[in-house]
Structure 1
Amino acid sequence: MSRRRPRPAWQVADFFALEREAEVYLAAVDACLAVPAVARRLGVRPQATAENARAAMLAEANVERAVAPCRDTQERFRALLERSERQRRRLDYLRDRTHPLTVALCGMTVLTLLVAVFLSWPAVLGAALALPLTGAVIWRHPVWRMHVLLNLREWALRPRVALLDRRTAWAAAAWSRDLQGNGVRPLTDRVVEALLGEDRDSLLLADNFHGLRSPRNPRYVVESLAARSLTRKIAQLESGGTIAVSGSRGAGKSTLLEACAGEAGFAVVVQAPATYSPYDFLLSLYVRTCENYLVHQGHVPPAFLRISPFRRVARRLLPALRKRLTVLAFGLSAGALVVLGLAAGVRSLTAQQWPTVRAGAVDLWRQAAGVVLDIWNGERVGAAVLVVVAGILLWSLRRWKQWRAIRMGARVTLVVAGVVLAVAAFVSLLVDDDVRALLREAAGKGSGKDFILLTVLLVGIVNLFTERPWEIRGRVLLTLRRRRRTAWILFTAGLALLFTMPLTLALAADPENPLRLAIVLTGLMLIKMATWSPANPVPRLVTACRDELYRLQTVQTASSAVTAGPPQLLTAQTTSLSTMPPNFPELVSDFRALLTEIAAEQHLQEQRVVIAIDEVDRLGSDTAALAFLGEIKAILGVPHVHYLISVAEDVGASFVRRGLPHRGVTDSSLDDIVHVPPCTLEESNEILERRASGLSEPFKALTHALSGGVPRDLIRYGLRLDEIEARTQFVELTDIAGQLILEELSDTLAGFRTLLGKQRWTARTGTILVAFRNAMDHLRPACPCGSTELRRALEHVAFHDLRGRLGEEAAAEVSDEARELLDEASAYALFSLTLLDVFGRGDFARRRDEAAARGPDGALELLGRARQELEVSPYSARHLIGSIRTAWQLPEGLTAGPAAAVPLPRGTDCPRHPRVPA
């Protein structure tokens, strides 16, 4: 039977049949509330506390919703829990009815038996006689017999109860995981969102800002339309070409180039110098290409600086010496073992065959020497003529193309000879009379064991010297390393067992075996000589790159000394030769030749070569950038090489309008261009979601509007959100947006005031600088409070009217440059005031939906476009900002009435935000 749980103090609904179920559910609720993503949202608003969330999760309706998806695991847990409680109650019943005297008697009996076993055999016999008598006495007494049976049943039930408890704990853990994953956690998110109230997206509750702190980390890079366009253009230019990547600074051109370079088989990424010299730039690119190719091929580029001659020699000699010492140690040890085993057989063969071989060699030597002496003494004129003709023919054959075929034939001959010698040594075993007699004797006895051992040995040899995978049971395929290990085990086991057989021992003891092994080794040496090649030969291009690095980065000097004159009067003459660095045309030619070979090698491997030249827009002006492209044009156009050059927007515009009205250097230098525009709001949301997961939509829209969709500024403003939250503990959109916008406006107006200070002013026009100073004094307190004085100060700058405040005569004294700066500052102030009106007020979600319903001008996307338009013209930007303010129903003029001067600055204390000093 199950016990009804009494109503606990935390007033959970009477929903669970057992109290243990309620405990598991409560633990799941606490675990879900402790999840960082949930705990971060608790406490940010007065009603959204952990106590309120816990109380809501323990309400009967929410308990029903949380448990409903996890019925199966709950039923399994409940069934095991009820069984466990029934068995435990039964165990308690047996334990309560067990007599202590019976337990003591049984324990003393077992102890007596153990002591008797460890003492002596007579004690064992005595215990063997005493125990049956004791058992008979206990069994005849009904009360004692009942207690003994109860004890036995209790001891038998204890392991079952322990097993049931373990299974119940596992079922409880499974139900708890199911609750946290499918029931409680989703409901907890909804409960917390309900407690946060309306406009909950206006809270800064991002999970982390790790991606914003690593702006160049490739794992956070989001593929854009420009990246896909560049990939398509590179694929279209199969034989290579030059593609310009155009865009404003911070648009992501460098990231795009690095991503394309990372996907290429071989890539070099260099930065254009701010004050460039074509020769220095090409020299740097040449050196970087050689170093990258050495690294790409697994070699270390040579180091020429800060290394003493002794260290250079040590770095070269020590690895080679270490390798040679290792080979020498193993070679001497292996050679000593082989010589020791074959010494007797070789001596026997030498004693038998050496006199005949020596006599034949001596006769051949004497005959050859006699012929040479006769030719030398002029006794064989015909032979002398043949020798001269043979010498001439030998010299004429120095470039004969068939030498390679002859060398190949010699190698084949050596291989065939080695194989013949190795096979002949094994065939000689079958020809030997003693061996044949042993085989007939073994065949007469007939043993399946020998066949099995031979099969194991054969399988090991086959798997040891083959490269194809070995299939086991038709499904499991061992890798090459595992197969090798298995083959060695089979080979070693088969060989060890094989030498335990009488036949094998008799064959191994044959006196001619050392001679056969010597023949086999001779054959293997011939095969090795024919197939030998240098280990890990250095590729030609690697050597060429290393030589080029020596030529480009060092000055080489060679000297020679000549001694002339009679011995009693010696004279010395010394000549030195120093290499000169290559000039620009030679450097271009050599670089193109080396890059052509690298590209051809990579093209055969179906890989791409990319040379990325970044930061060309750092040259300052489009004229300097175009001049730079004209200077480096000589290295472009290498087959199968893709040049990617980042340029500014004006250089890209020069390429786009080619031929209108005339053609420029971009027409002949560039094959295509990819424009990297600022991100749209959707792309900015994707970037921020990748780099700062959990950031809500209003904050994404705020950073997009301030950055204008430029990724670099987007990341910077995202970090500013984190910095403001950590510094001020603000989490509401109104507070953080006001703080961020006012700080940016203060810095921007300070920059404008510095530029305005360089203009010429008079006593009547100097009040403009005073107005800017007073406005900056209003912005300087670090507090987002939207007071009336602050708004009047911002409107004074945003709705700037030069003639209305200075008059016609005074306004005419302001220079055109100063007037343009004032218009730019006024437009930016109006943009900042618009952002404050959009993001710095409450109820953002409702106002956003209403503005979007009024037309396209109410879309949040237009705020980013307005920021982009400020870089084009302040007048077109004011027109767009006016449309946005109309869609959001914002005032289009001064709200506090006209003011001749900016009101006095705010005080230093902030009553609304006491944590932040004003």
Structure 2
Amino acid sequence: MSRRRPRPAWQVADFFALEREAEVYLAAVDACLAMPAVARRLGVRPQATAENARAAMLTEANVERAVAPCRATQERFRALLERSERQRRRLDYLHDRTHPLTVVLCGITVFALLAVVFSPWPTALAAALAPPLIAAVIWRHQAWRMYVLLNLREWILWPHVSLLERRTTWAAAAWSRDLQGNGVRPLTDRVVEALLGEDHDSLLLADNFHGLRSPRNPRYVVESLAAQSLTRKIAQLESGGTIAVSGSRGAGKSTLLETCAGEAGFAVIVQAPATYSPYDFLLSLYVRTCESYLVHMGHVPPAFRRLSPFRRAARQLLPVLRKGGTVLAFGLAAGSLVVLGLAAAVRSLTDQQWPTARARAMDLWHEAVDVVLDIWKGERIGAAVPVVVAGVLLWSLRRWKRWRAIRRGARVTLVAAGVGLVAVASFSLLVDDDLRTLVREAIGRDEGKGSFLLLVPLVGLVNLLAEQPWEIRGRVLLTQRWRHRSGWGLFLIGLALLFTLPLTRALVADPENPLRLTVALAGLMLIRMATWSPASPIPPLVTACRDELYRLQTVQTASSAVTAGPPQLLTTQTTSLSTMPPNFPELVSDFRTLLTEIAAEQHRREQRVVIAIDEVDRLGSDTAALAFLGEIKAILGVPHVHYLISVAEDVGASFVRRGLPHRGVTDSSLDDIVHVPPCTLEESKEILERRASGLSEPYKALTHALSGGVPRDLIRYGLRLDEIEAKTRFVELTDIAGQLILEELSDTLAGFRTLLGKQRWTARTGPVLVAFRNVMDHLSPACPCGSIELRWALEHVAFHDLRGHLGEEAAAEVSNEARELLDEASAYALFSLTLLDVFGRRDFARRRDAAAARGPAGDLELLGRARQELEVSPYSARHLIGSIRTAWRLPEGPTVGPSASIPAPRSADCPRHPRASA
């Protein structure tokens, strides 16, 4: 029967049959509460403490919910635990009845075994007969017989109990992992969320912000619809083309170009110059293409700029000397060892065969010399004719097409000869009578231990060849790294042990082994000689790129001196030749030729060539961008080359409305266009989840609304969240949103005030600048305290009425440009005030659901669209913001104080601001 544990103090009352189960569950709860993602949320609110969470997890209802998904592993652990306890009780029962006589009998038996092994045969015989005689005497006594049987059962049961306890421990670990992964951890999240309250998503508790700190890291890039569209368009233009990537600044055009360039076989990314010159840009692109191709092919671009001839020669010679020194060092060491081992065998073979071979070679040499001398003296006229014919035929065979087949046949012959020599050396071991005699004698002496020693290197080889780590019931016993180390160790130890056997030493000491090694090495050298080929020559395109780099980046000068006149009057004439840099048409032609060859080579390899020209939108205006496209149009249209050009939205709009009413430069320069729109709310959530995991939905919606879905600004505002949390220690949405929105509004209004300061103002219109200064004083420093004076100041700007503030006559003196700036500032202030009303108040989740239920205008997506609309027109943006405020039940006009004046700013810092607390 299993033991029922008493009711514990931590209130998992009578739910588990065994106390060990409760211990495993409690350990799983503590491990889940200690996880960083859970521990980060504990303590941020008064009721959300680790003690309360632990107490909630140990209630009977929650224990049932946590254990239910892991019932199978629990039943297996419980069954093994009960079996282990039963066997342990049996073992304890047998252990308590151990008789001293059993110990004496075991000692006598061990002593007898040692005597049998190490004593002469009479003593060994007596020692061997002693234990059976003592056992027979003990067996006749009933009580002693019972004790002996009990002790034998104990010894037999002990290994079984040990293995069962080990299996129980593994089962406990498996149930604990199952609990933490499928039972306790999900329930812990729900318990902590319940303790945090209904609006738990309003807490800033992200796991990390690593992805936001690395905006250009490709591992954090999320594939967008624009990326998929660009991939399809490139696939459709199989023979190459020019595709423009259009979008606002920060929309992700550069990331899109880098991603496509990374997927291509060969790619070049260049930046368009701010003040461009077509010749300089093409020259830079030409040089970058040559250098990129050299790197792509595994070569180093020539570094001849700012280098003296000595340093340039040293840089070229050092790699050769380093490689030659390594080969020379290893070659001398290896050759010395081989020569030392085979010197005696080669010398013996030379002493036996060299006189005969040398005599035969000298005879052949003398006969050949005699024939040549006779032909030279004219004594063999008949032989001279075939010699002449042979010379003519040899000259005519210089272009014979069968030489390649003959060389191939010679290589095959050498390989066959080498394989034959290696086979002869190996076969000689089988036909050697002395070696066969040694093997038979070793088998006759029963050297069976050699077969066991052979298992050691075999186990080592199995460890080396196995690809998966050794596991038993999911428990890793030997990792892949240690498996390889142990494999090499066992293999080398096994070989060392094999050399301790007499048979192995006799086989190695055979006097004919050096000769066999010599023959085998000769065969291997023939095989290597036949299969050796010189280093692959430098490809022609690599040489062409190097030549172009020298031509484009250096000025070459040649001088010659001529001496003329009679000896008594010497005159010297010097001629100097200097290369001229190529002009623009020649540069275009040469670049297209080189790029065509590179593209054809990559196309044969089924690879794509991409030339990405980024930052064209920074030229300043659409006119400059279109002029730039018109100038570089000469290098476009190379077969199998895809040009990707990032342009601004206005250039993309020019291509879209092609032919209406007339055609422009984009029609002849671009083949297609991909528009990169701002991200939707779902896309922004995906980006933030990839870059800042654990960031809750309200913060994703807040950063999306402030950035308008522009990825660059989205990342910037995400980093501002981390900065505000580190600076103020705020974790609530109301505090962080107010701080972020007010800081951004303060910076924006400061920029508007700078622009307004450049306009013309009079004494009657000056109060407008005074009003802006007062608002700036309220916003500096920005603090989410929500004071009435701050809201009064914000409403004064958001719902400003120029005529109501200044009067009819003074308002008429304000210029149209100043009016537009005031309208833009007012619209942005209204947008910021709306964000404060949406995110800066409590109970965000309930208000969000209520606004969404009132219609499409209550969707959080519209906040990002309103930010995008501010870049188009402040008047259309105010209309959209008005519909959003209606859906969220926000006031449509001023609510605090008269709108004609702004209250004086506070005299002291807010006590909640970090600067005041410091």
Q: Partner residue of 1:665? A: 665
The answer to whether the 8 A contact 1:211-1:691 is kept is yes
Q: Partner residue of 1:838? A: 838
2:175 aligned with 1:175, yes or no? Answer: yes
Pair 1:796–1:86, CA change in 2 (3 A):
same
2:366 aligned with 1:358, yes or no? Answer: yes
Deviations 1:437-459 (A, max 9, x none): x99x99xx9x99xxxxxxxxxxx
How far 1:415 moved relative to its partner?
5.9
* Paired residues for 1:766-805 under 5 Å: 766-805=766-805
* Paired residues for 1:122-141 under 5 Å: none
Q: 321-330 or 162-171: which moved more?
A: 321-330
* Paired residues for 1:5-16 under 5 Å: 5-16=5-16
SS, match of residue 189 in structure 1: helix
Q: Partner residue of 1:70? A: 70
Pair 1:744–1:165, CA change in 2 (3 A):
same
Q: Partner residue of 2:477? A: none
Q: Following the alignment from structure 2 to structure 1, what is the Cα–Cα distance between the partners of residues 759 and 420?
A: 104
* Paired residues for 1:263-282 under 5 Å: 263-282=263-282
The answer to whether the 8 A contact 1:417-1:523 is kept is no
Match of 2:375 among 367, 381, 404: 367
SS, match of residue 401 in structure 2: helix
Q: Following the alignment from structure 1 to structure 2, what is the Cα–Cα distance between the partners of residues 746 and 832?
A: 10
Q: Partner residue of 1:819? A: 819
Q: Following the alignment from structure 1 to structure 2, what is the Cα–Cα distance between the partners of residues 404 and 811?
A: 99
How far 1:599 moved relative to its partner?
0.5
How far 1:405 moved relative to its partner?
2.2
Q: Following the alignment from structure 1 to structure 2, what is the Cα–Cα distance between the partners of residues 426 and 815?
A: 100
Q: Following the alignment from structure 1 to structure 2, what is the Cα–Cα distance between the partners of residues 517 and 787?
A: 95
SS, match of residue 645 in structure 1: strand
Q: Following the alignment from structure 1 to structure 2, what is the Cα–Cα distance between the partners of residues 372 and 588?
A: 69
How far 1:350 moved relative to its partner?
4.4
* Paired residues for 1:301-380 under 5 Å: 301-321=301-321, 323=323, 330=331, 345=353, 348-352=356-360, 354-368=362-376, 370=378
* Paired residues for 1:26-175 under 5 Å: 26-98=26-98, 150-175=150-175
Pair 1:813–1:156, CA change in 2 (3 A):
same
Deviations 1:366-409 (A, max 9, x none): 43575999xxxxxx9x99xx99xx99x999x9xx9x92626446
For residue 355 of structure 1, what is the amino acid of its counterpart?
A: D
Q: Following the alignment from structure 1 to structure 2, what is the Cα–Cα distance between the partners of residues 905 and 218?
A: 47
The answer to whether the 8 A contact 2:253-2:676 is kept is yes
Pair 1:259–1:281, CA change in 2 (3 A):
same
Q: Partner residue of 2:680? A: 680
How far 1:731 moved relative to its partner?
1.9
How far 1:320 moved relative to its partner?
3.3
How far 1:556 moved relative to its partner?
2.2
How far 1:311 moved relative to its partner?
3.3
How far 1:241 moved relative to its partner?
1.2
For residue 690 of structure 2, what is the amino acid of its counterpart?
A: R
SS, match of residue 576 in structure 1: strand
Pair 1:614–1:542, CA change in 2 (3 A):
same
Q: 281-290 or 404-413: which moved more?
A: 404-413
Normalised by the length of structure 2, the TM-score is: 0.81
How far 1:275 moved relative to its partner?
1.6
* Paired residues for 1:554-633 under 5 Å: 554-564=554-564, 572-633=572-633
For residue 278 of structure 1, what is the amino acid of its counterpart?
A: P
Pair 1:749–1:404, CA change in 2 (3 A):
farther
Pair 1:868–1:404, CA change in 2 (3 A):
farther
Q: Following the alignment from structure 1 to structure 2, what is the Cα–Cα distance between the partners of residues 524 and 239?
A: 46
Deviations 1:689-740 (A, max 9, x none): 1111222221111111100010000111111111112222222211111111
Q: Partner residue of 1:17? A: 17
Q: Following the alignment from structure 1 to structure 2, what is the Cα–Cα distance between the partners of residues 839 and 404?
A: 87
Deviations 1:623-663 (A, max 9, x none): 21112112211111111111111111111112222222232
Pair 1:114–1:422, CA change in 2 (3 A):
closer
How far 1:614 moved relative to its partner?
0.3
The answer to whether the 8 A contact 1:611-1:643 is kept is yes
How far 1:908 moved relative to its partner?
3.3
The answer to whether the 8 A contact 2:799-2:894 is kept is yes
Q: Following the alignment from structure 1 to structure 2, what is the Cα–Cα distance between the partners of residues 612 and 55?
A: 60
Q: Following the alignment from structure 1 to structure 2, what is the Cα–Cα distance between the partners of residues 365 and 352?
A: 20
Between the two proteins, the alignment pairs up a number of residues equal to 843
For residue 167 of structure 1, what is the amino acid of its counterpart?
A: R
How far 1:846 moved relative to its partner?
1.9
Q: Following the alignment from structure 1 to structure 2, what is the Cα–Cα distance between the partners of residues 70 and 424?
A: 66
Pair 1:518–1:632, CA change in 2 (3 A):
closer
Deviations 1:804-823 (A, max 9, x none): 11001111111111111111
Pair 1:816–1:413, CA change in 2 (3 A):
same
SS, match of residue 183 in structure 1: helix
2:246 aligned with 1:232, yes or no? Answer: no
Q: 14-23 or 260-269: which moved more?
A: 14-23
* Paired residues for 1:446-595 under 5 Å: 528=530, 534-564=534-564, 572-595=572-595
Deviations 1:301-353 (A, max 9, x none): 11123544333323323443455567778598789979866686465244235
Pair 1:428–1:13, CA change in 2 (3 A):
closer
How far 1:108 moved relative to its partner?
7.5
SS, match of residue 637 in structure 1: coil
CA-based RMSD of the aligned residues comes to 4.7
Q: Partner residue of 2:854? A: 854
Q: Following the alignment from structure 1 to structure 2, what is the Cα–Cα distance between the partners of residues 21 and 421?
A: 73
How far 1:523 moved relative to its partner?
9.2
Deviations 1:813-870 (A, max 9, x none): 1111111111111000000001111111122222222222222211111111110111
Pair 1:548–1:369, CA change in 2 (3 A):
farther
Q: Partner residue of 2:448? A: none
Normalised by the length of structure 1, the TM-score is: 0.81
Q: 117-126 or 649-658: which moved more?
A: 117-126
The answer to whether the 8 A contact 1:783-1:917 is kept is no
Pair 1:195–1:141, CA change in 2 (3 A):
same
* Paired residues for 1:384-395 under 5 Å: none
Q: 60-69 or 828-837: which moved more?
A: 60-69
How far 1:554 moved relative to its partner?
2.1
Q: Following the alignment from structure 2 to structure 1, what is the Cα–Cα distance between the partners of residues 423 and 250?
A: 79
5+ residue gaps, structure 2 = 441-464, 466-486, 492-497
Q: Following the alignment from structure 2 to structure 1, what is the Cα–Cα distance between the partners of residues 690 and 257?
A: 20
Q: Following the alignment from structure 1 to structure 2, what is the Cα–Cα distance between the partners of residues 420 and 65?
A: 75
SS, match of residue 295 in structure 1: helix
Q: 677-686 or 361-370: which moved more?
A: 361-370
For residue 315 of structure 1, what is the amino acid of its counterpart?
A: R
Q: Following the alignment from structure 1 to structure 2, what is the Cα–Cα distance between the partners of residues 578 and 771?
A: 70
2:413 aligned with 1:405, yes or no? Answer: no
Q: Following the alignment from structure 1 to structure 2, what is the Cα–Cα distance between the partners of residues 416 and 191?
A: 77
Q: Partner residue of 2:733? A: 733
How far 1:157 moved relative to its partner?
3.8
Pair 1:108–1:694, CA change in 2 (3 A):
same
How far 1:267 moved relative to its partner?
0.2
SS, match of residue 405 in structure 1: coil
Pair 1:347–1:592, CA change in 2 (3 A):
farther
Q: Following the alignment from structure 1 to structure 2, what is the Cα–Cα distance between the partners of residues 13 and 517?
A: 79
2:190 aligned with 1:190, yes or no? Answer: yes
For residue 242 of structure 1, what is the amino acid of its counterpart?
A: T
Q: Following the alignment from structure 2 to structure 1, what is the Cα–Cα distance between the partners of residues 124 and 416?
A: 77
Q: Partner residue of 1:462? A: none
For residue 190 of structure 1, what is the amino acid of its counterpart?
A: R
Q: 68-77 or 705-714: which moved more?
A: 68-77
Pair 1:350–1:419, CA change in 2 (3 A):
farther
Q: Following the alignment from structure 1 to structure 2, what is the Cα–Cα distance between the partners of residues 229 and 552?
A: 38
Q: Following the alignment from structure 2 to structure 1, what is the Cα–Cα distance between the partners of residues 166 and 366?
A: 89
How far 1:517 moved relative to its partner?
11
For residue 640 of structure 1, what is the amino acid of its counterpart?
A: H
Pair 1:110–1:781, CA change in 2 (3 A):
farther
Pair 1:723–1:408, CA change in 2 (3 A):
same
The answer to whether the 8 A contact 1:610-1:641 is kept is yes
